[in-house]
Amino acid sequence: MYRRALKDLIEWQNRGNRKPLVVRGARQVGKTWLIREFSHRFDNLVELNFDKNPEKAQLFAGNDIDRCLQLLQVDTDTEIVPGKTLLFFDEIQAAPGLLPLLRYFYEEQPDLHVIAAGSLLEFLLADHDFSMPVGRVEYLHLGPMDMEEFLHAMGQEKLLRFLEDHTLGESIPESIHQNLLNYLKLFWIVGGMPAAAAAYGNSGNIGEAIREHETILQTYEDDFSKYRKRIYPQRLRKVFRRIPALVGGKLKYVQLDPEDRSRELADSLHLLEMARVIYRVQHSAGNGVPLGAEAKERDFKPLFLDTGLISSSLGLNLSGLELADDLLMVNNGALAEQFIGQHLLYGRPSYENPQLYYWNREQKSSSAEVDYLISYADKVVPVEVKAGKTGSLKSLQVFVSEKKSPVALRFNTMPPSCSRQKTSVAGKEKVPFLLVSLPLYLVGQARRLIEEAFSEKVACLEVL
């Protein structure tokens, strides 16, 4: 198995101004595996799991880092050598007092490579009176495997290289296109959770992947009991189970439970968001970057952690996808929107906090909605997923007309294309723009291809 975040860890290892690194992400996305794989670049690994061995936290009582390291060497019977040893604190949320001590590793032992990982760090911060050591640590945000990592796990390195080498204006042979669509369908069911991908890769049996999904989902629900002091766990479980069916649409609390109060439902939603099981795709006016500057906190669409988990939660299976004439119609397009969303969410550099936005205009006579907004330099790029194989792209054109976006992005099941067009919105001047249309499986290359589009060196069809 391969994760592209390994490159980020290697860059961190070799950087002179390195700080202790905190790897953040939901349970089961592969944080521990990633760090252990990275540890092979060191002479030795000293790993402490505070969830399994909470008593190890006593080794770090006090702010004297040299003394703490001496005790750790005695306890582990290992020599800790800066530059040659990787010190790994796993499940650090189970040792609350250790998190603020990371600043002293940076100040007093800057040559020692220190990594901490935790799945519930936000809960730790909410329940304690200290804050993260700002300016003394750095972050790596890890999500599920993406399409390229999935292809690698399935042994499809040639298809992977093909995607990475694809440029705008190039055609994709129909046989390769169909092969990639088949792996797209497989990804939608198996998903990007490493345990599920490994289970399918080792057995070739979809049922083994689904079994892993059920285990992961149950693990999340079992975690809810740990929050009993803060929230009613049955409510949290109910919200958790409802979200997969609500992906793709603006969330209204009555959809979660018509008989419960919005305040309590909002608290449950917030906890799931802190656990990184769900994400809010917030509305942005889209007038410029940063997109978050014009975000509306209460206007959002939910995004779940992984498409495979959604498929199992909703009872979808590969045979159902094989019969679908248009993948974008599966579950009313929600699965396609989830797939694109989770890729765009983690498509930015790993040190950036994952964020994603959408745009809508709710007017009785002229409502419009664009599935996602992303940015390139100082430009806003609208992204449409629900267009199908054909269509007028009405909402996309409305956005381009109002915001004067030079490039727009569409995902569907057709081979890639690009065309220079003009908007055709009633009562509005025609605005020229470049429409980049990509098959869903190219989402991992979207930002690179958008950069090509903005270079204006691409030969595209003229539809003016």
Contact 52, 216 (CB under 8 A): no
Please give the helix or strand (H or E) that residue 383 lies within, else none.
Answer: strand 379-384
CB-count exposure of residue 100 (10 Å: 0-12, 13-18, 19+): middle
**pTM confidence score:** 0.93
Query: Taking all residues of the chain, what is their mean pLDDT, rounded to a whole number?
Result: 90
Strands ordered across the beta sheet of 85-90? 44-49, 85-90, 113-118, 21-24, 138-141
pLDDT in the model for residue 94: 87
- Work out the percent of the chain whose per-residue pLDDT is above 90: 73
Could you tell me the two tokens for 67? 């003394």
Half-sphere exposure of 439 (CA within 13 A, CB side): 26
> pLDDT per residue over 108-165, tens digit each?
999 999 999 988 777 666 666 666 677 889 999 999 999 999 999 999 999 999 999 9
169 has a pLDDT exceeding 90: no
Domain with CATH 3.40.50.300 in the chain: 5-141
pLDDT in the model for residue 128: 63
Residue that wins the pLDDT comparison between 321 and 163: 163
Residue partners of 113: CB distance under 8 A and separation at least 6:
13, 18, 42, 82, 83, 85, 86, 87
Write the single-letter amino acid at 315. G
The structural architecture, per CATH, of the domain 5-141 is: 3-Layer(aba) Sandwich (3.40)
> pLDDT per residue over 191-245, tens digit each?
999 999 999 999 999 999 999 999 999 999 888 776 666 668 888 899 999 999 9
> pLDDT per residue over 274-302, tens digit each?
889 999 999 999 999 999 999 998 899 99
390 has a pLDDT exceeding 60: no
Q: Are strands 278-284 and 295-304 parallel, antiparallel or unpaired?
A: antiparallel
455 has a pLDDT exceeding 90: no
The mean pLDDT of 360-382, rounded to a whole number, is 89
pLDDT in the model for residue 260: 86
